[in-house]
A and B are shown apart, each in its own frame.
Chain A
Amino acid sequence: MKRSTVNKLLRRFLSPLLWIAVWELIALCVDREVLVPTPLRVAVRLWELVQTASFWTVVAFSILRITAGFLAGVLLGTLTGVLTAKLPLSEGLLSPLLTVIRATPVASFIILALVWMGRDAIPVFISFLMVFPIMQSHVQTGVRAVSPQLLEMARVYRVPPTRRVKALYVPAVLPNFSAGCRTCLGLAWKAGVAAEVISLPMRSIGRQLYYSKLYLETVDVFSWTVTVVVLSLLIEKLLRAVLLRLTKGGERG
């Protein structure tokens, strides 16, 4: 068998199986379901959950909240990134705000958000806060990476602004934009679910996690955590596919 095929097999199946075996071993050593349930027990519980309508409602609402925050962060971060790259004054103005957002612990923001807004909006807001500064910085770097020599060429040849954006800016910004999106998606999920755990909106994965913990239903905590991981991976795959199409389109101008 070819070395690359072995590596692929190892990464796809053997490696996850190894870690599930490690989990099983730990569960057997601890031998208390309330501390560490076995993978099989979690799988059975997850199977029970996915057969209920409420599971899908909870998942759908969490996806909706976190995706809304993620998209708002991507949109505003991109616009702000372009602005700060082109207008140094705006970078000076926004820099303190961005530094504060980056440096403040997410828990502080969640607690403040509890005071400021309704519980349904908190995960959206928190996901947005995680995504916004990272996208701003990635897009700003991308816009600044556009070759000044090519911009001069476009100026001499009086290339219209829309064509300049398509031919010069989009190809330069897209790699940074894609990298930013991929980084932010994981962060948005982690912070969004954390916000749900604290703010307890109705029909949310965070609420399920919180009540599972409260009643020491560790199997449920594990099942919902597995759900979050699987959702995060699936959405990341979807995002990768979208970004790949965008990048290919962008490179062709």
Chain B
Amino acid sequence: MIALSHVTKRFGEKIVLRDVSLQLGERGVTAVLGGNGSGKTTLLRILAGLEKKDSGEVVTGIRVAYVFQELRLVPTLTALENVALVLDKQHRAEAIEHLRAVGLEAEADSLPADLSGGMQQRLALARAFAFGGDLLLLDEPFSALDDEWRRKMLDAVRIIAQTRPVVLVTHDMSDVEYLNCKTIRLD
């Protein structure tokens, strides 16, 4: 089971996370709620192994797919290459299928800069879905999507959450309700 136990994280004098505990279970979506600067992204970064905790326990060594808030698409690679980048050699041909699933098949040869904000967000989601992993971390992944694609992506996350745990940072309570999330509030 993936879990954080009594984790505290400081940046200089500022305590960003204080004694936070979280158990993710085998499946389902956990929504992390809280205001700006409450440590939501820091919590995801600790789960992804990108940030070290100052105290407490964290399960590490798991394969994590992460949709970053700022997306982090490689600007010099096409949409197809961005997805293929995270796939094993034997699965690279499947990249186009993942693009098709997020409606970007026609944009396979486009660079991220030539895509709209919503398309870029779908591309980041496609990359995360393609990677698979033991845990899916989503940091405000639907903010630029229109209603139609928001609903489609929420459905995709719901399907993924049937097989592995998902942690979602969001400000939108309708997402939380739609995905039937467990919630954790950071303040």
Contacts and interface: CB of A to CB of B under 8 A. Distances in A.
B-side interface mostly? loop
Interface in A149-177: 149-150, 152-159, 163, 167-168, 171
Contact of A163 (B50, B63, B85, B131): B85
A253 interface: yes
B77 A157 contact: no
A152 B50 contact: yes
B48 interface: yes
Nearest to B66: A156
Contacts of B76: 167, 171, 250-253
B64 interface: yes
Interface in B48-85: 48-50, 63-66, 68, 70, 72, 74, 76-77, 81, 85
Contacts of B65: 156-157
A253 B74 contact: yes
Contact of B72 (A153, A163, A252, A253): A153
A153 B137 CA distance: 12
Interface string A123-158: 000000000000000000000000001101111111
Contact of A159 (B48, B50, B70, B85): B85
A54 B27 CA distance: 80
Interface residues of B, number: 18
B86 interface: yes
Contacts of B81: 167, 253
Nearest to A172: B76
Interface in A89-141: none
Interface residues of A, number: 18
B74 A158 contact: no
A159 B74 CA distance: 12
A149 B85 CA distance: 15
A160 to B, nearest CB: 9
Interface string B33-52: 00000000000000011100
A155 B50 contact: yes
A158 B85 contact: no
Contacts of B86: 157-159
A171 B131 CA distance: 23
A149 B65 CA distance: 15
A250 B76 CA distance: 9
Contact of A167 (B50, B63, B85, B131): B85
B182 to A, nearest CB: 23
Contacts of B48: 156
Contact of B68 (A153, A158, A253): A153
A253 B77 contact: yes
Contacts of B50: 152, 155-156
Closest 6 CB pairs of A and B: A157-B86, A153-B72, A171-B76, A253-B77, A156-B66, A251-B76
27 contacts: A149-B68, A149-B70, A150-B72, A152-B50, A152-B72, A153-B66, A153-B68, A153-B72, A153-B74, A154-B85, A156-B49, A156-B65, A156-B66, A157-B85, A157-B86, A157-B127, A159-B85, A163-B85, A167-B76, A167-B77, A167-B81, A168-B74, A171-B76, A251-B76, A253-B76, A253-B77, A253-B81
